[in-house]
């Protein structure tokens, strides 16, 4: 069935270091200002070639029909856009929590687009891949671009940023936040004034979704309280995951250890260059 097994490609998590909702389009999409940074905690995706031009997901997620999985949709979209007829079996080593605000599904889709473009030697540019990626989700472009960025629009207008690369302690509450539920909340702020990159650097790091998520999901509120005992705890995206930054890796590991008896905790390094770009460079 498959002709060759290929080495796994990383699909990293992202953190939103700031999130402001500044308007809403007629199609319902919210207009944002946000800052993306990656962490070196990843899903891993591997591929095996098929003789037939089909796209198969080796280990479907229980709650997601294979045809709706973003990895399958990404591979099929790439086939449709290029006319390429080779088939592929996709295997996802899923480590990032769903509904955690870490962009796992979008990152998986981006990795499929970037990896198959390289492995199938399709020759699409980064901009062409981004044009495809935005059709799959607003967060997909930043994962394709692969650098820490200031983002506007629905998240697709990206300006690269050079940010500190601290160690992050991430708490993963035992719940899954439904983004659509948060964005449809009547009390969600949708008219925050625009800020500048300089204002972000000066300390404007709020998240307009925070109060809504805390009200809807007590587990997230509890995680924020627990992490706040050790540092400035923040919500990434619409949650559920919360994080705090530490300059010293030993301090971060100590905090993670202290929280681990009661919480699922991950200690990861913030990175401005995605591990996906490093992998891509190694195969060119």
| Tens of pLDDT, residues 64-85 | 999 999 999 999 999 999 999 9
Run of H or E residues at 10: strand 9-24
State what percent of residues in the chain have pLDDT above 90: 91
Confidence bin at 115 (pLDDT 50/70/90)? very high
Active site residues: 14, 139
The answer to whether 227 and 171 are in contact (CB under 8 A) is yes
Class of domain 2-162 (CATH, top level)? alpha beta
pLDDT per position as a tens digit, 175-203: 999 999 999 999 999 999 999 999 999 99
Architecture category of domain 167-271 in CATH: 2-Layer Sandwich (3.30)
The predicted pLDDT at position 1 comes to: 33
Run of H or E residues at 224: helix 218-228
Run of H or E residues at 95: none
Q: Do 2-162 and 167-271 come out as alike in CATH topology?
A: no
Domain limits, the chain: 2-162, 167-271
The predicted pLDDT at position 6 comes to: 61
d(CA 73, CA 105): 11
The model's pTM: 0.95
d(CA 195, CA 34): 10
């Amino acid at each position: 069935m498959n002709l060759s097994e290929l080495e796994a490609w990383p699909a990293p998590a992202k953190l939103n270091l700031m999130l402001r909702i500044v308007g809403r389009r007629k199609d319902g999409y919210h207009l944002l200002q946000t800052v993306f940074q990656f962490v070196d905690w990843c899903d891993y995706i591997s591929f095996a070639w098929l003789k037939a031009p089909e796209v198969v997901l080796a280990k479907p997620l229980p709650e997601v029909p294979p045809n709706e999985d973003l990895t399958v949709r990404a591979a099929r979209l790439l086939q449709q856009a290029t006319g390429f007829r080779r088939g592929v079996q996709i295997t996802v080593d899923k480590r990032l929590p769903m509904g955690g605000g870490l962009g796992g599904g979008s990152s998986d889709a981006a990795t499929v687009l970037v990896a198959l473009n390289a492995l199938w030697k399709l020759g699409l540019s980064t901009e062409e891949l981004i044009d495809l990626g935005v059709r799959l989700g607003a967060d997909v472009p930043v994962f394709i671009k692969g650098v820490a960025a200031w983002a506007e629009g629905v998240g697709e207008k990206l300006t690269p940023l050079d940010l500190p690369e601290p160690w992050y302690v991430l708490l993963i509450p035992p719940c899954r936040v439904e983004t659509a539920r948060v964005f449809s909340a009547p009390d969600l702020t949708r008219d925050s004034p625009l800020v500048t990159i300089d204002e972000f650097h000066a300390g404007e790091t709020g998240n307009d979704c925070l109060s809504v998520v805390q009200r809807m999901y007590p587990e997230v509120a509890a995680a924020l309280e627990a992490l706040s005992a050790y540092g400035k705890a923040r919500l990434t995206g619409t949650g559920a995951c919360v994080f705090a930054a530490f300059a010293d890796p030993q301090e971060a590991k100590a905090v993670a250890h202290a929280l681990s008896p009661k919480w699922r905790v991950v200690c990861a390094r913030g990175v401005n260059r995605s591990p996906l770009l490093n992998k891509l460079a190694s195969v060119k």
